[in-house]
Chain A
Amino acid sequence: MTHRASGSRALSTGALARVEGEGAMHVEIVDGKVADVQLNIYEPPRFFEGFLRGRGYAEPADITARICGICPVAYQMSACAAIEDALGVTVDGPLHELRTLLYCGEWIESHTLHIHFLHAPDFLGFDGGVEMAAVHRPLVERGLEVKKIGNQILETIGGRAIHPVNVKVGGFYRVPSRRELEPLRNDLVRGLEMSIEIVDWVSGFDFPDQEMDYEFVSTAHPTEYPIMGDRVVSDRGLDIDVAEFLDHVEEYQVEHSTALQAHLLERGEYLVGPLARYSLFSDRLAPAAAETAQRAGLGPTCHNPFRSIIVRAVEVVHAFETAIAVIDRWEQPAQAAVEVVPRAGIGHGVTEAPRGLLYHRYEIDNEGLIADAVITPPTSQNQATIEHDLWHFVENHLHLDDEELRQRAEVTIRNHDPCISCATHFLDLTVVRE
């Protein structure tokens, strides 16, 4: 649309690219002021929570994986955590470690995809990763190689990278021997070296100064950098057991979105994901990740959403170190899973998807069938904050013409790696200037 230099204007685009899923953004500017910002999610609803009712307790691990092809392991892990909580089952020791290893594969794959194909092209002025490869081929090839190693973890432990088949309530169907993990270790060591180079590369990008006033929320583990855990904490005093999650977080529907939004009852919008995990737990990063973060100029916290690309890269380093440590300690357990006996109960589970906290709650009847399911994905929780970021950005950049405003507003959204398939289950831009 035509740019009008002053007063009120309207602007619109086609579907937003380089995000997972389908949506649009809508910005209204009246008398030179932002009047409304909406992240329209029009990805068709798929009703997972509805058709989980009446399924067996063993089924959500495979069914909910299908909510998202980018982070299926996150769904499998949160589902298992919640159902195991309901059934009074504890999965610890080597089986917990193997889950951590599998999850590291997904963090590496998902973060490396976002860094190279979805986010870096914005900083370097390309339309996408393939176009970037025409100029920076070795950089993209290195990214693809690291991504592939993430997928190799998923394939070795889970059978395949998308919708792995080996996860079940209680543990796994089959656990690998030490000998099966050994070849993976060599690739992980090479991946670790490349991941450190990637942090050094992305930390050299030109970042706008934009410190945002976020409340960071993350899963908490007693000792580890959060991947799995049983508490939920924030940097403003939230510290609750996972079972209390829905007492503090309210999901609500807005007319412009097929994804539910969420806020903290006491305080409103909040942010989950790499910035939140890092800012809450940077002191728990593995040694090379901590050292690399420091060299990249990150302090103990990071409130600049554009710099999330560095934080993701640091988390990839951390995931490689964690994965190597798991393999070094690995002793194949005698049983691939803890025995599970169905019983009636209610269970809650949180784990950290690459995009942030993913909460599941299941109510199970005495025959082991699901009576009720609640799933709160990271992008639903971040949606209000993303809209806030957009509002802030547009308000401070009204002098830009429509095309530049549109492009840079898209970056504001991609900073948070939204996954619309998850949230609805994402993006056109409409800007109306009146």
Chain B
Amino acid sequence: MIDRKPSLAVWKFASCDGCQLTLLDCEDELLAVAEQIDIAYFLEATRATVEGPYDVSLVEGSITTAGDMERIKEVRRQSRFLITIGACATSGGIQALRNFGDVEELMRIVYATPSFLSTLDTSTPISDHVPVDFELRGCPIDRNQLLEVISAYLAGRKPAIGEHSVCIECKQRHNTCVMVSHGTPCLGPVTHAGCGALCPTFHRGCYGCFGPAEQANVKSMSGALAQLGVSPDEIQRLFHTFNAWSEEFRNPPVQVAAPTRKTP
């Protein structure tokens, strides 16, 4: 039997290219990875393509067109493991803000002749369309987590990616809590870990780009934000960014509380 290298394919749907760029940003590991696996389809990096099926498919981006609804099914059919990379593929991305409004109106704002466009009313995660084997969070994904996920699937084990919140990462870094000490609104308590608590380390509140943590208590978070004097509109906007269409962040309960501090 021929000892074949496992094959990797990278697919793009509606997205900014940042998550697949993360693979090219693994400068120290990229050439080593390329020796162990066969990069069979990765258009951003090479024009050479190999026909499927593929052992591992990394999928970036969300589904926003009728054509892409069909394409993702073909990707699934061709892939042994399908892993979504990033907030667009995992929860619909920033472009899922259209799901809350009128896509016709958005088209008119940006394009003179909207009739040239064919787009769906919604931006939806890959898991709404096909079964997904693993969802890697982040806007963008973290380089080390990506390497862990690829290594795990190539070795046939489960990726060691925690589902705890950014708060735990802050504690690990011995950060001072920006919310408690400075009254800075921070989504750390409800946000999935993986970035290494970057924002609090840079003296700003977490803005939730990794999406909801396991068992995120969004109601309690909203209450705490209201206590800081964050207005209901602002609370809604805080949740409605790159993971707005995730189930937990979709309809954050907003309540009006007596402001104790002015928000920056």
Q: Do A and B come from one complex?
A: yes
Query: Using a CB–CB distance below 8 Å, which chain A residues touch chain B?
Result: 14-22, 43-51, 53, 55-56, 59, 62-63, 66-70, 72, 113, 117, 121, 127-131, 133, 137, 140-141, 144-145, 147-148, 151, 159-163, 165-166, 168, 173-174, 252-253, 255, 258, 260, 336, 410, 419, 421
Return the contact of B198 from the options A43, A50, A159 (Cβ within 8 A).
A159
Residue picked from A45, A56, A70, A151, most chain B C-beta under 10 Å: A45
- Give B57-106 interface residues, CB cut-off 8 Å to A: 64-65, 68, 93-95, 97-98, 101, 103, 105-106
Minimum C-beta distance from A42 to chain B (A)? 8
Interchain nearest-CB distance for B246 vs A (Å): 16
Least Cβ distance of A397 to chain B in Å? 19
Whether B112 and A252, one on each chain, are in contact in the complex, defined by CB atoms closer than 8 angstroms, is yes
Contact B242 A66 (CB under 8 A): yes
**Once bound together, how far apart are the Cα atoms of A330 and B242, in whole Å?**
34
Q: Mark B222-264, 1 if CB is under 8 A from A, else 0.
A: 0000000000001001000110000000000000000000000
Q: Which residues in A have their C-beta under 8 angstroms from that of B42?
A: 128
| Best-surrounded residue of B20, B45, B195 (most CB of chain A within 10 A) | B45
Add 10 more A-B contacts to A162-B25, A421-B17 (CB < 8 A).
A17-B44, A19-B44, A46-B123, A50-B105, A69-B18, A128-B46, A128-B48, A137-B31, A253-B113, A410-B47
Does A144 contact B31, Cβ atoms closer than 8 Å?
yes
When distances are taken between beta carbons in the complex, the residues of chain B under 8 Å from A129 are 45-46
Distance in angstroms between the alpha carbons of A56 and B201 in the assembled complex? 23
Q: Are A130 and B140 CB-contacts (below 8 A) given A18-B44, A69-B21, A165-B198?
A: no
Minimum CB distance partner of A154 in chain B? B25
Chain A CB within 8 A of B145 CB: no
Closest to A134 in B: B34
Contact with A along B203-225 (1 / 0, CB 8 A): 11001010000000000000000
Q: Which residues of B contact A21 (CB under 8 A)?
A: 12, 17
Can you spell out 27 A-B residue pairs with CB atoms less than 8 angstroms apart? A44-B68, A45-B117, A46-B94, A48-B110, A51-B94, A51-B97, A51-B101, A55-B237, A56-B237, A62-B241, A66-B94, A66-B242, A67-B16, A68-B16, A69-B15, A69-B18, A70-B18, A72-B18, A131-B48, A145-B27, A148-B28, A159-B199, A162-B25, A168-B204, A253-B116, A258-B117, A260-B111
User: B152 at interface (Cβ–Cβ under 8 A)?
Assistant: no
Residues of B within 8 Å of A48, CB to CB, are: 94, 110
- Tell me if A253 and B202 are in contact (CB < 8 A): no
Produce 1/0 per residue, B1-39, CB < 8 A to A.
000000000001111111111101101101100100001
Contacts of B119 in A (CB 8 A): 44-45
A173 touches B34 (CB 8 A): no
Q: How long is the Cα–Cα vector from A147 to B22 in the complex, in angstroms?
A: 12
A116 to B14, CA, bound (A): 26
Interface residue? B155 (CB, 8 A)? no
Contact A130 B30 (CB under 8 A): yes
Contacts of B46 in A (CB 8 A): 17-18, 121, 127-131
Complex CA gap A145/B27 in Å reads 7
Most interface-central of B13, B39, B44, B207 (chain A CB within 10 A): B44
User: Of A43, A127, A145, which is within 8 A of B48 by CB?
Assistant: A127
For B27, the chain A residues whose CB sits under 8 A away are 144-145, 147-148, 151
Choice from A51, A148, A173 contacting B204 with Cβ under 8 Å: A173
Of A18, A47, A410, which one neighbours B110 at CB under 8 angstroms?
A47
State whether the Cβ of B160 lies closer than 8 Å to any Cβ in chain A: no
CA distance A128 to B199 in the complex (A): 35
- B47 in complex: contacting residue of A17, A51, A141, CB < 8 Å: A17
Tell me the B residues contacting A by CB distance below 8 Å: 12-22, 24-25, 27-28, 30-31, 34, 39, 42-49, 64-65, 68, 93-95, 97-98, 101, 103, 105-107, 109-113, 116-117, 119, 123, 139-140, 195, 198-199, 201-204, 207, 209, 234, 237, 241-242
On whether the beta carbons of A173 and B95 are closer than 8 Å, the reply is: no
Least CB distance, A251 to chain B, in whole angstroms: 9
Distance, CA A141 to CA B103, complexed state (A)? 46
Nearest 10 pairs of A and B residues by beta carbon: A69-B18, A128-B46, A50-B106, A17-B47, A127-B48, A148-B27, A50-B109, A46-B95, A47-B106, A162-B140
Q: Hey, which chain A residues are within 8 Å of B202, CB to CB?
A: 159, 165-166, 173-174
A69–B140 CB distance below 8 A: yes
Q: Specify which of A22, A127, A163 is in contact with B12 (CB 8 Å cutoff).
A: A22
> Which A residues are CB-close (under 8 A) to B22?
162
CB-CB nearest in chain A for B18: A69
- When chains A and B are docked, how far (Å) is the Cα of A133 from the Cα of B199? 36
Closest residue on chain A to residue B20 by CB atoms: A69
A66, B139: Cβ atoms closer than 8 Å: yes
User: Nearest chain A CB to B194's CB is how many angstroms away?
Assistant: 11
Max count, chain A CB within 10 A of own CB: residue among B65, B110, B117: B110
Q: Is the CB of A130 within 8 A of B97?
A: no
Write out the residue numbers on chain A whose beta carbons fall within 8 Å of the beta carbon of B241.
59, 62-63
- Least distance between A22 CB and chain B CB atoms (Å): 6
Known: A17-B43, A128-B48, A174-B203. A162 touches B24 (CB 8 A): no
Which residues on the A side are within 8 Å of B95 (C-beta)? 46-47
Does A18 contact B24, Cβ atoms closer than 8 Å?
A: no
The answer for the CA separation of A11 and B262 in the assembled complex, in Å, is 63
CA A69 – CA B207 in complex, angstroms?
18
A130 touches B15 (CB 8 A): no
Residues of A within 8 A of B103 (CB): 47
